Structure 1
Amino acid sequence: MFENLSDRLDSVFKKLKGHGTLNEKNIEEGLKQVRMALLEADVNYKVAKNVISDIKTRALGQEVMESLTPGQQVIKIVYDEFTRMMGSKHQALDLGTGSSGSIMLVGLQGSGKTTTAGKLGLYLRKQGRTPFLVPVDVYRPAAIDQLKKIGTQLDLPVFDSTPDMKPLKICQDAQIAAREQGCDTLVYDTAGRLHMDDTLMAELETLKKGVSPSEILLVADAMTGQDAVNIAGSFDQRLDLTGVVLTKMDGDARGGAALSIKAVTGKPLKFIGVGEKFTGLEPFHPDRMASKILGMGDTLSFIERAQEAVDEKEAKTLEKKLRQNAFTLEDFRDQMKTVRKMGSVKDILGMLPGMNKKQLKGLNIDEKEFVKIEAIINSMTPEEREKYAIIKASRKKRIAFGSGTTVQDVNKLLKSYTQSMKMIKKFNKGGMRSLKNMLPF
C-alpha cells in the first residue's frame, strides 16, 4: 500500500544525505518533496501541511544543524513526526476491569464488518478471551447466516438471531446467552447502509444506549481513502467512537486514510485488516508503520509472527537436528508450513530492515510452489523422506505421479534440499541464516 510513498521518500532522503551540510534552502526543497509525496498518498491536506511544518521547525533547529550526520537526523525527525501523526503508540482494546466486555462494530455496507467480526473473534480468543459473536444486521440478506457460517468455520459461538427480531432485543438476549455459555466478550455485528442516513445512526444510538459497549469500532474500507476519514468523523459525532479498523490494507489504495485518521478525528486506528484469511487482523502500531514507510523494516512484527507460528519445543528439536546434520525432507516440509503460517514470503521479507524495495518489487514468488513441495514430499515413503539418496529414476516417476507433478519438479525439490543441506553443514548454526537458505527460490 505504501510503496509509492516509500519510494518517493527514499529518493528525497538520498538527496539530503548526499549534502555534506544542510541549510535552510536544501531542507525546504527536501520537505517540499515530502509534502508532495504525502499529498499523492492521499493524506489529508491539513494533516500534511501541519506535519511538514513540525518537521521543518525541528529540522532547522540545533539537533540537525549541529549534527555530524544531518541527513540521518532529518530522517529520525520525519520518523518521529510520522509516528506522532498516526497516534504515537498502539491503543489496545479497553474491555473494562470486570470479567466481561463488549465491542460494537459499525460502518457502511461493504466495509467488511462481518468478516472483521470473525477476525476479531479469533484475535480475542488468542488473547485468552472467550468471544461471542452476535449478528445484529437484520436488513442485509444472508448477513446473519454469513456470521453463523464464519462462527462454525472458526469454532466460535454465535448467537442464534433471526431476521424477524429487533436489533436491540438481539443484543440484550445475546448478553444473557453469553453469560450462560461462559463467554466474556460480545462482538456485535451491526447493520450498515450504502450511505450515511439518520435511520442508521438513530438505530446505532439506541443500541449504544441499550448495551453500553466497552468499545465502538468503526470498520472502514482503506480503499476509499479520505472518504474513510470523513466517514469516521460522521460516525464519531453521533456515537463517540473508541477506535477505527481499516480493512483491505493490502490493496492498491495509497494509504492516506491510515496516515490521516488519527490526526483528523482524534480517534486511534486500532486494527488493520490484511488479506482474506481470518488471521489477517493486526494491531496497528504507529511506530512500526512509520518505520516500514521509511524503509526501516518492521522487525517487531516479524518476531511476533514468528513466535506465533513456531512452536518452541519443535524449534529446539529442529535446532538439534540442524546441528547434527539430521535435517530430513520431512523437516524440510514442516518448515515450509511454518513459513506459510507467517504470511506471504514477500511480506515477511518486507519486514526485514535493509531489504531493497526494488528487489522486493521484482521478486516474483509463486506461493503455490509451497503446495507443490508439500504434495511431492507427502507422496514419498517415510524411508525416502529419511534417506533422499535412495530416490532414483523409478521412484521419482512414482512420486511425481502420486503428487500430480513432473519428474522435473521432483528433481528441483531434491536439488533445493541438497543445497540447503550443504549450507547447513557449512554454517551449522541454524537460526534465520539457515532458514533463509532453506527457502526454495
Structure 2
Amino acid sequence: MNAIEINFDGLIGPSHNYSGLSLGNLASANNAGEISRPKAAALQGLAKMRLMMSLGLTQGLLLPHLRPHVPTLHALGYRGAPEAMMAQVWAEDPALARNLCAASAMWTANAATISPSADTRDGRMHVSPANLVTNLHRALEAEFTTRQLHLLFADPRYFSVHAPLPMHAAFGDEGAANHGRFCDAHGAPGVELFVYGDNPGGRFPARQTLRASQAIARRHGVRQPVFVQQANRAIEAGAFHNDVVSVVNQTVLFAHEDAFEDKAATYTSIRAAFPALHVEEVPTSAVPMADAIRSYLFNSMLVTLPGSTTSAPRMALILPAETQETPSTKAYLDALAGSNGPIAACHVIDVRESMRNGGGPACLRLRVALTEAEVAALDPRFLLTPEKADALERWIEDSYPDEIAPDMLGDPLLHRQLLTALDRLQGVLGLPDLYGV
C-alpha cells in the first residue's frame, strides 16, 4: 500500500530557556544559566520545517505547551493570576519555577511512539504518548501531548491513541527517540526496533525501560518487534536517548560503532527479521563518541527523498551545523558524500538554540508513516503550508521574547507575555480554547 512519511515538528515555545534540567544531557548541563533566544530558536525551527517542504516532503507541527504550567500551580495550592503565582513560586522555590517553564515539548521525538497501520494486527495506526517520568519538567508534558494527538488522530477507523504508560520509573518511556522502523517502503509491513537502556549504578539514568518498550509493542499489536539494548558506555558518554547514537530509515541503520551494548547480537536480531538491512556504521576511530555527541551527527534526520524506489533509494541527512564545525564528523561526511551508498545528499541547518539545550534536528520531529486515506483523516490544522508558515513567522516576530536570562523566570511581565503569545497562536491555527487560560 502506498504511504508517505510526515514529520511533525515541535514548534519551539516562547519560554525556551537554559535551566539545565536534564541529567545526562551534556549540552543542557553545559549551557545551564546562559541567556536563551526564544525568538531565534522558533525561527530556526520553522526554517527547518520550510526546508523539508522545499524537498517535496509533507510537514506537520505540534504546538508549544502551556508554560508556565498553570495546572501544576493549581494542583500545588497556588492561587491568583498565573504571573502572580509564578512570582511567588520563584521567590519560594526557584527549582520548581524552572521546571514549570521548560519548553522541552519542542522535542517531539519524545512525544510518542507510533506504529504504522502496515505493522499492526488490527490494521490501524497505534499511538502511545510518552510518560517521560524520568524528569519532572518532561513528565508535565504527557497530558497535553495526549490531548493534541487525540485531535490530530481523531478518526477511530484509522487511529488508536492510547493513554501514556503508568507514571512510574519501572515503565519509563521517552517515545520515538528510542524507536525505529525498518521497511522496504513506508507503506510496506515493517520491523519495529525498540531500544531500551539498563545502566544500574551509572552516573546517568537509562530513560527507556525494557518493560515500557515491550508494553508498547504488545498493546500496539506490532507483528515484528525487535528489542535491543543501548550501550551503557553511550549513556555514560551523554547519549541519553538512542537517537543520539543511531537513526533508522527504511532499510538503513546509520549508527555509531558503540551505539549498542551487544553490537553483533543487535545486527543479527535485526537481520533475522529484516534481511535487507544496510548498516552504515561509523567507527570510533573515525568519529570518537564524544565528537558524535558534541556534534549530534546521529541526531540528524535521515529521510527518503521523493522519486525514490525500493531498488534505488535516495536518502538525505538533515544535519546540524555543528557537524561541519567538528573536524572528525566533517571529514566523515565529506567521505560519505563521495560514496555510492543510499545516502545521496546532506543538508546542513542552523538549530543552534535547540542544540545548546540538548536537542538536534531529529529531536525536533516525530515521524509518522501514513496511507492516503489516513492523511485525509488527519486534522489539517496540524499540517504546515507555506501560507501557514508565513503566518507563524509573523506571530513569532510579534509575540516572542528576544532573550530570557535566568532571573527573568520570576518576572510577572515575562509570564504575561508567554501566555499572551500562546493565546494568539490559538487564533493563528484555528484551535480556540486549546490552552484553557
- Structure index of larger Rg: 1
Using the size of structure 1 for normalisation, the TM-score is 0.23
User: Which one has a larger percent helix, Structure 1 or Structure 2?
Assistant: 1
Using the size of structure 2 for normalisation, the TM-score is 0.23
User: Which one has a larger percent strand, Structure 1 or Structure 2?
Assistant: 2
Relative CO higher for 1 or 2, CA cutoff 8 Å, sep ≥ 6?
2
